[in-house]
Amino acid sequence: MAVALRKATYSYNCIVERKAFTVGIACENKMAEADYCGIASGRDLDKFALTGLTHVKSELVDAPYAEEFPVVLECRLLHTIEIGLHTQFIGEIIDVKGDPDVIGENGHLDIMKIKPLIFDTSKKGYHSVGPCLGKAFSIGKGLPHEQG
């Protein structure tokens, strides 16, 4: 799991000091809360209190997460790479916690139940994920060129 941050952010220092981070998947019904977390800095404000999100201390890594996000990845810092304005942190995923409501029939995470947000950097909008259009490693087999 890789995340890239500017050195000026509060999160940057937290990751450097604790050698850990968590990633919560922002979803449609927590869009305003997730957006607020991108506006405010944890240096000045308690984002958990201000958004109403529940602060949980990870038992596996030295970082907190919000209980309300449907999927949470707990990561141990492996690599720190300077890439210009940002620093990229690569973490080993120690655990993936999924809310029972977003687990599908096969016991795996179900993207249509998670309803994750897609961030459009161009117009700065949050988009939904639409329906499945095709099966991977499958629909490509029907190409006319391949058959010929």
**For the chain, how big is the Rg over CA atoms in Å?**
18
| Residue 43 C-beta: closest distance to its own copies, Å | 16
| Residue 103 C-beta: closest distance to its own copies, Å | 10
Beta carbon nearer to its own copies, 63 or 115: 115
Residue at 119: amino acid letter? F
The site for its own copies (CB under 8 A) is made up of 2, 28, 31-40, 49-52, 78-79, 81, 83-84, 88, 90, 92, 104, 106, 108-111, 117-120, 122-146
- The answer to whether 70 and 110 are in contact (CB under 8 A) is no
Beta carbon nearer to its own copies, 31 or 56: 31
- The answer to whether 42 and 49 are in contact (CB under 8 A) is no
Task: Single out the residue of 136, 74, 72 nearest to residue 109, CA to CA.
Answer: 72
| Residue 23 C-beta: closest distance to its own copies, Å | 15
